[in-house]
Structure formats: C-alpha cells, structure tokens
Chains A and B, each alone.
Chain A
Amino acid sequence: MLRLRVRLVPLTLAGALALAACGTRGGDARDSDAAAAAAANGFRGVITAPPREKPDFTLTDVNGAPFNFRQATAGKVTLLFFGYTHCPDVCPLNVANVAAVLRKLPFEELEAVGFIFVTTGPERDAPARLKEWLGSFDPAFIGLHGSVEEVNRILYGLRMPPIQQADVPAGTAEYEVGHAAQVLAFGLDGLSRLEYPFGIRQDDWAHDLPKLARGELPTGAPPSGPGAVDLKPLGERADVPAVAIRVAAALVPQPATTTEGALYLVLRNNLAEDTLYAVSSEAAQRAEMHETMPGDHKTMGHMMPVPEVVVRAGETLQFVPGGRHVMLLGFSSRPVLGESVPIRLHFRRAGELILAANVVPYADLERLLAAAAASLAP
C-alpha cells in the first residue's frame, strides 16, 4: 500500500528536549542514520542504558488516596510522564498522542498498559484539576500529586532533570515550569529500557506499545557507527576498567561563527560518585554547563546554567543536543571540521581530565553520540 506518511521519528533524548525547547519541531534535527540505528532494535523509542529500575515512591492520586507507584503498576507496562496541566505544548501533545493510540489497541493490550502522569506544577495542579485534565484525554490515566521536593527526588532517582521554575510574582496564573519532555516506558519486568522523547508520533507509539504489552524487549544491536568511540582521556587507557571516568565521545558540531558553539559528551563513571563542577577550554573564552528547558506559550524554550553535575558510580552521563550541554563562548578561531578542540573537565574526585573534542558535522552528531552511549552500555 502506498504510504504517504514519512516517519520523522525522534530517536534520541537529545531530539526530545531539543524539540520541546529549541524552536524546532517534529524532529527536524534528527538524522536518518540515527533513526535507522534505533529502529534496528525493534522499537522506535530511545534505548536507555543502563535500564532504569521502577522507582518506589508514593504520591497522592487524583482522589486523594496514596498511590505507591511500584506496587500499583506491578506487572503492567507503565508509561511515566512528568508534566503539568497548564503546559501549552509538550504535555498535552504527549498525553493526547498516547491516548489516541491506546484507544485503538485491542482490549488485552490496552489492559496491559498504564499511563501515569506526575505533576511538576503541584501548586496549580490540584487533584481535581488533574483529574479533569487527564480525564479529557483518557479517564483511565492516573494523575499523581506531590510536593516539588518529592517529585524532584523521584526525578533525581530516575536521572532526569529537576523541575525548573522561575520566581513567579504572587497572583500570576500563567507561568512556565521547566520539565523533562520524555515519557519513560517501564516494561513488564519493571525496568525502563526505553524512553520516548517529545516528537514521537502516534505512528511510533502504535508500533511500540503492542510490543511492550506483549512483553517484548528491545533486541538486536544497539546503535553504533564509525567514529563514535574516537576520544579517550589523554594519558589514560580508556579500556582499562580502573579509569575513573571513561569518555566515549566529546564532540563539537562545527559552529557557524566564533561567537559560540556547543560541546556534547558521553562519559561513564566507573568508580565512586563524582561531581563535574567545571569545564574549560583553551580554545574558548568561557565554557558553561547548561540544561535546555522546554518553552511555553510565551517563550521558545531557554537554557538554564547548571553549576555542577553529579555522576554516580556506574552511571553514564550524556551531554546531548536539547538536554545538558556545554556552551563554548568566544572561540579564538572558528573550529572547522577535522580539527579538535582542547577541553578540560574538572571533577572533584577524579581531578582534571584533558580531552580533544572532535569537530563534526551537526548531521552526524546524534548518530555518534548514540553509538558512544551504546559502547558504554554494560
């Protein structure tokens, strides 16, 4: 049958937040190689490594009753999303798209899937409001309410960015709340191996949800590609397990000007918890760690400075487009393809790590980062 539809599947967390936050839409920054690589795993969601365990937390549901997430969703495919009901774009789209696809699933598969929405705007999202809003998409969706601190603890445990909220003058009804844009999918085994960034389409949900409901797990080779693992900490052998921080990729997409550029990283902490507290480069006047936050009805999204990033033992840390990244400001000369940019990562415990970040075409970025992340998967 003639298929007019062209999939524009966002396949990285990068894409996810980029779409929500950077003014592009529909995954236009995605790279078909990355799409093909992820599709090779049998799913259209983004594979997360290592898998996340289903968190054990209790919040209040829309009826005011305590809801233990792990117990209440045991044995079900569970889609977990953090958002708020006043969100103008990402939240209603994600929820509506999941609802639209669930409506078409056969009863057995529908029964096997649950959708949990944890509000990141508890001040305005009273249980009644949450119930009404979620009910407008699907009355079976479960809304959970907790304090910002409680929700941030859950987010921290899931290795997701915390709720970001600017100071709001008293009496302001409309204001933005920054939050992660992806939906986490926990399989029947209670592990989340997949996440669905903003930009995932109904077609993609319709492809993946029945498979998840049947208990299928991502299979096949993880994304890989040439040149992914091309950077190692200088002076250290990256393949020696004793190396505290193993850097699988440090990439700078070729900037258009000398004004600014971005640095993306994939690294793994093999030893004890450490903190990346600064990044510097001889090639740029300043280097700042940022987190891209989704926009709202008034703004196109924005970047929040991140003072430091904790990397727990065994954790893979990814600085990706649209998510966490390093801004390099004021290059002494414009980096060009094939060159490398000296980078210094400053860790509290591991000390200073000196890297040479490759300058690559933007189109190759996601594929290289995905491959680098896959190379670090246990």
Chain B
Amino acid sequence: MQFWCSATTRAWTWTWQAYVGIWIFVLLVAAGMVAWNRVAARRAGMASSPPMHPLFVVGLLVLWLALDWPVGALGAGYLASVHMLQFLLIGLVAPPLLLRGISPQAQALVADHPLIQRLTSPIFALVVFNATVLVTHLPAVADTLMRSQLGSMVIDVSWLVTGLFFWWPVVVELPRRAKFPPPLRMLYLIGGLMFSPVMFGLAGFLAYSETPMYGFYELAPPIPGISSRDDHQAAGALMSVGGATIAFIAMSVIFFRWSKTDQ
C-alpha cells in the first residue's frame, strides 16, 4: 500500500491499488471546509452552518478522481497525457467547485485578513498560479519530483493550492470584489488561462518537441499501443485545449450571471 501515487517500475495493470494518503487528504479537505463553515456560522450567531453547496461535493469528487487510482496512478507513473488531465482537474476544475463550498459567513471570516487579501489579489494569484504551472512542468522539476511519493504530492498539492488562489477572485463573491467586475474577471481568465503564455508555451513544447520532453514518462513501463511521442503530444493538446475550454466555460458562466444581474 502506498501513501501517494508516484512512479513505479512495475508495468501498468488494471489491478486496483490503495493510496491512503490521498483518502486522508481528501477527507481533510472536506473536514476542513465543514469546520471552517461551522466556526464562521457560530461566530455569525447562527444556530447551525448552512448546508454544504452541492458543487463543493462535486469538487471534492473531482479532486479524489484526479488523485486516486487509476487516474492518479497513470498520471504519476505512466502517461504524460493523464498527468496533464490530472493537472486540469486538480488545478482548474476542482478549485472553483471547492470554493463554492465556502459559505458567505466563512468568506467574511477570512476576507479581511491581510494575508488572504494578498494571496487572492488577482495579479498576485495569476502570477503565482502560472509560475507554479511553469515550475512544476519543467522537465528537471517534474522528472525529479515525480519519482517520489512526497514529490508527487508536492506537485499535486501545489496545483490545488495555487488553483484555489487563482480562482478565488473569480468565484468568491465579496462586497469589495466590486473592484473586480465581471468584464475584468473574464479578461483575467483570458490572460491567465485561455491565452496564458505559460500554458501555451508548455503545450507547444510538449506537442512539437523532437523527442519526448519528460525522461520520466519516456522511460516509464510502456502502455501497449501508446508511444511516448503520442503521449506527449496528447498532453500538449490537452493542456492548451483543456485550459482554454475550462476558461471558456467559466467566462460563459460569468457572462450569463452578469447579464442576468443587469437585467
């Protein structure tokens, strides 16, 4: 039994594997959110905390799906394309859904804290998120970290944490967010995600590099029928198309909500 998904020299099989650390991590995220909302409700003088937003549960499931077997194991040890799918799910899909689980009282509890204000300010969040995406996808870093369970966990958690920062200005509705109206949010998503030079650059290297970028995946026990070149190209395509699609969906939601509010 392993703690976290990481590289292995064993050939891939569809035999289920248990990753205890991932279960603990997902449970901690759920418990943390529940506790946070409860404390906030108590401080706000409410008898009980409001029910958990269904999208939070969906976000939790997405996170679990991305981290655990088989997606987590395939992504951590065998296929760069699945690793990229993991990145999309952990960094771009799960965070906005998880953030929906923060009750307004819980948001208010931390919103005025200077550290939270700094971490979730749009420019800071955008830079930190893109820097994390860049660093964690550099071959030297990925090839080194993905070999150990701890390193693999560091990558996954860094995507989630910086993803939460990145999505906070878009998702969390606070009065002071008036400074960050929907049109700016859409621009933020366009610059930080849809046409992010980091995402496009990495996707380009993955798709068009003469030889596989990550030695780690090039030398992984092969999955029959998938060459490392095809795998890398699929990863590149997934990064650019997936990132842009998620940004487009988020922008659509922002736009329709905005137009609804205006009406």
Question: Which residues does A use to contact B, with CB under 8 Å?
Answer: 4-8, 19-20, 23-28, 88-89, 92-93, 96-97, 100-101, 104, 198-199, 201-203, 206, 295-301
Contacts and interface: CB of A to CB of B under 8 A. Distances in A.
B53 to A, nearest CB: 40
Contact of A201 (B7, B144, B215, B222): B215
B139 A89 contact: no
B220 A4 contact: no
B11 A4 contact: no
A179 to B, nearest CB: 15
Interface string B186-219: 0000000000000000000100011111011011
B222 A89 contact: yes
A8 B215 contact: yes
Nearest to B206: A4
A349 B212 CA distance: 50
Interface of B: 7-11, 13, 138-140, 143-144, 147, 205, 209-213, 215-216, 218-222, 224, 227-229
A23 B213 CA distance: 22
Contact of B138 (A4, A96, A202, A296): A4
B9 A25 contact: yes
B142 to A, nearest CB: 10
A170 B224 CA distance: 26
Q: Say whether chain A's binding surface is mostly helix, strand, loop, or mixed.
A: loop
Contact of B9 (A6, A23, A92, A97): A23
Contact of B10 (A20, A101, A300): A300
14 contacts: A4-B139, A4-B213, A7-B215, A23-B9, A25-B219, A27-B219, A88-B10, A89-B9, A89-B222, A93-B221, A201-B219, A203-B211, A295-B9, A295-B10
Given A93-B221, A97-B228, A202-B228, 6 more contacts: A4-B209, A6-B143, A24-B147, A92-B224, A198-B219, A300-B9
Contacts of B147: 24-26, 28
Centre residue among A4, A23, A92 by max chain B CB count within 10 A: A4
A202 B212 contact: yes
Given A25-B216, A93-B222, A297-B11, A5 B139 contact: yes
B215 A27 contact: yes
Contact of B227 (A7, A20, A100, A206): A100
B10 A97 contact: no
A8 B143 contact: yes
A89 B221 contact: yes
B77 to A, nearest CB: 9
A62 B211 CA distance: 30
